[in-house]
């Protein structure tokens, strides 16, 4: 009986530790995976046609999202800064980041009805 109680406590502690580690990684993954370089417009534009590098724009995506793309920025300004998007519809545009962490990622930028930036996020496909 003592062994079962001890194993139950050990399993519960292991589960709590594993959960904390997983959610800590999940909360910081964008900055860890996509945050190693500062945004460079020339490199961003040149990387659009690159096929040699798998995660061609991913290293700049976090800096771009956190420090460059401010809420309220016009869609025209974003397009001038980042060039032609990989995907576009009435309310959003997306830029291909390449294959990062075994999945294809994009930088999705959402605009309101006045073509002002509302939100941006790194998405996986």
Q: How many CB atoms lie within 10 A of CB 82?
A: 21
Element (H, E) at 107: strand 103-111
Q: Which pLDDT score, from 0 to 100, does residue 35 have?
A: 62
H and E: helices and strands count for the chain: 4, 4
CB-count burial class (<10 Å; 0-12, 13-18, 19+) for 60: buried
The fold of 35-124 is Beta-lactamase Inhibitory Protein; Chain:B, domain 1 (3.30.1450)
- Mean pLDDT calculated for residue range 108-124: 94
Helix, strand, coil shares of the chain, percent, nearest 5, are 45, 25, 30
Residue 109 φ/ψ, nearest 5 degrees? -120, 125
Question: What does 27-61 look like in DSSP terms, one character per residue?
Answer: HHHHHHHH-SS---HHHHHHHTT--S-TTTTHHHH
- What are the structural domain ranges in the chain? 35-124
Q: What is the pLDDT of residue 65?
A: 87
Write the pLDDT tens digit of every residue in 62-110.
Answer: 889 889 999 999 999 999 999 999 999 999 999 998 888 778 889 999 9
Predicted structure pTM score: 0.72
Structure-block tokens of residue 60? 């700049």
**In the Cβ-directed half-sphere of 56, how many Cα atoms lie within 13 Å?**
19
Per residue in 33-75, pLDDT (tens digit) is 666 778 999 988 887 666 666 777 888 888 898 899 999 999 9
**Residues β-bridged to residue 120:** 109
């Amino acid at each position: 009986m003592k062994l079962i109680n001890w194993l139950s406590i050990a399993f519960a502690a292991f589960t709590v530790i594993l959960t904390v580690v997983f959610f800590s990684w999940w909360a910081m993954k964008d900055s860890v995976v996509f945050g190693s370089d500062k945004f460079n417009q020339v490199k961003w534009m040149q990387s659009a046609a690159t096929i040699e590098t798998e995660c061609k724009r991913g290293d700049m995506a976090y800096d771009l999202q956190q420090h460059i793309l401010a809420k309220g920025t016009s869609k025209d300004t974003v397009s001038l800064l980042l060039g032609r998007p990989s995907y576009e519809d009435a309310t959003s545009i997306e830029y291909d980041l390449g294959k990062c962490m075994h999945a294809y990622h994009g930088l999705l930028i959402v605009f309101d009805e006045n073509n002002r930036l509302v939100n941006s996020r790194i998405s996986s496909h």
